[in-house]
Amino acid sequence: MTTIDIPGDSPFGLANLPYGVFSTPGTAPRVGVRVTDWVVDLAQALGDEVFAAPSLNPFMAQGPRRWAEVRERVTELVSGRIPDGAVHPVGGVRMHLPFEVGDFVDFYASEHHAANLGRLFRPGSSPLMPNWRHLPVGYHGRAGTVVVSGTDVRRPCGQLKPPDADAPVFGPSRRLDIEAELGFVVGAGSAPGSPVRCDDFAAHVFGAVLVNDWSARDIQSWEYVPLGPFLGKSFATSVSAWVVPLAALEAARVKTPPQDPEPLPYLRENEPWGLDVELSVRWNGQEVSRPPYREMYWSPAQMLAHMTVNGAHVRTGDLYASGTISGPERDQRGAFIELTWNGREPLEVNGTPRGFLEDGDEVVITATAPAPGGGRIGFGEVRGRVLPALAGERD
């Protein structure tokens, strides 16, 4: 039997207990919970087959009562004596995509980001579209290209049209960017045809992950009219390996900034679901931004209500992301296109002026949130390195 020493100020202490899918050399992926710098094998420690699955989906499908029950059992388990062999150092395991991604939706819920992108993509027109304060704007992304933190991302190729050129050319993106976001993972699905109310958010959403929605701005700016993002964003979306349960975010709940005009009734929430999560973006090791989630105009409960208001149901494993998180300050912007104003105002990264991502660059996004009774919980990280475009496609 083993005991884990859990300091009160650990970002992975009893207030957090995030779930992930891990394997050790020669064994199959299974569900674990992270406690300080250890991973506890839940299939082995709790003797429950649902945790022997290579994804969180079977457990998430069991619903909120069961999530609460397991959280209590896990709290008892990791506070006491744990069977040897069920405890692995976090540095000695391989992490896998924690859930099988159903549908993937990406929102656009930061007013500061939406206004900045409006200025950059549509100079001369109003920064926000007329619908923006009335509904959480979003689009359906590509679930199959969601990858776990640590997966390399290949520079995409596609049609690029410089603003002054008459016709597009084909080649590797020269404006490869990141988007720092939070993602919400649906655990319990909803019934076809019946919208989810804002106040039922916690009955459906299991937890949150960090998201890097890699974006090729030159592909995007040429292709997006009028149907929205397509190949400029579908090549890869990275998520963190640990899913922070919604129950661990209780102390992070805040009201969203004031919403004016007042949203339609189906978008009104009685319980606040804004979240005081602080992100950090590192580019080749240097922190370049600290995006504040509490500045997001629309809450994740409003996003879920909007996404289902037409009767479209959600299913276990569906992922919806907040959209890029940008605050009002320059060093709070969650994408390089904003931080460098489309490359025109380069950032000093380790002494070199940089606009967009170069081959070999690595981006790491981390985040913390307040824990009940003080201290902070951690989200772990979402990390990715840029690989060069495929040789045959290079110009």
Ligand X SMILES: O=C(O)/C=C/C(=O)CC(=O)CC(=O)O
Q: Which residues bind ligand X (CB under 6 A)?
A: 106, 108, 113, 117-118, 121, 179, 181, 213, 215, 224, 229, 233, 323-324
Burial level of 321, CB count in 10 A (0-12/13-18/19+)? buried
How many residues of this chain bind Ca ion (CB under 5 A)?
3
Please report how close the Cβ of residue 221 comes to ligand X at its closest, in angstroms: 8
213 is in an annotated binding site: yes
Please report how close the Cβ of residue 383 comes to Mg ion at its closest, in angstroms: 16
Please report how close the Cβ of residue 215 comes to ligand X at its closest, in angstroms: 6
CB of 216 or CB of 364, closer to ligand X: 216
* Residue 302 partner contact from ligand X, Mg ion, Ca ion, none using kind-dependent CB cut-offs of 5 to 8 Å: none
Which residues 6+ apart lie within 8 Å of 173 measured at CB? 155, 156, 157, 158, 160, 216, 217, 218, 219, 232, 389
Where b means 16+ CB within 10 Å and e means fewer, 99-115 reads bbbbbbbbbbbbbbbbb
Tell me if 295 contacts Ca ion by CB under 5 A: no
What character string, x for contact with Mg ion (CB under 5 A) and - otherwise, covers 237-266?
x-----------------------------
Which part of the chain contacts Mg ion (CB under 5 A), choosing from 69-77, 212-220, 263-271, 312-320?
212-220
CB of 44 or CB of 215, closer to ligand X: 215
CB of 318 or CB of 338, closer to ligand X: 338
106 is in an annotated binding site: yes
Burial level of 124, CB count in 10 A (0-12/13-18/19+)? exposed
How far is it, in rounded angstroms, from Cα 153 to Cα 213? 11
Closest residue by Cα to residue 293 from 275, 272, 281: 275
**Token code pair at residue 108:** 């656009």
139 is in an annotated binding site: no
233 is in an annotated binding site: yes
Tell me if 179 contacts Ca ion by CB under 5 A: yes
* Residue 332 partner contact from ligand X, Ca ion, Mg ion, none using kind-dependent CB cut-offs of 5 to 8 Å: none
- Residue from 45, 64, 86, 106 touching Ca ion (CB under 5 A): that is 106
Contact 55, 282 (CB under 8 A): no
Cα 102 to chain center, whole Å? 15
Closest residue by Cα to residue 114 from 340, 348, 298, 359: 298
CB of 41 or CB of 338, closer to ligand X: 338
What character string, x for contact with Ca ion (CB under 5 A) and - otherwise, covers 232-271?
----------------------------------------
Backbone phi, psi, residue 337, to 5°: -60, -35
159 is in an annotated binding site: no
Query: Locate tokens 């009774």: which residue?
Result: 373
Please report how close the Cβ of residue 235 comes to Mg ion at its closest, in angstroms: 7
How far is it, in rounded angstroms, from Cα 12 to Cα 18? 8
Tell me if 213 contacts Ca ion by CB under 5 A: yes
DSSP conformational letter for 68:
H
151 is in an annotated binding site: no
Q: Which residues are catalytic?
A: 113
Burial level of 323, CB count in 10 A (0-12/13-18/19+)? buried
CB of 181 or CB of 278, closer to ligand X: 181
Tell me if 213 contacts Mg ion by CB under 5 A: yes
Determine how many CB atoms are found less than 10 A away from the CB of residue 15. Answer: 23
Tell me if 177 contacts Ca ion by CB under 5 A: no
For Mg ion, the binding residues (CB under 5 A) are: 213, 233, 237
Q: Which residues are annotated as a binding site for Mg(2+)?
A: 213, 233, 237
For Ca ion, the binding residues (CB under 5 A) are: 106, 179, 213
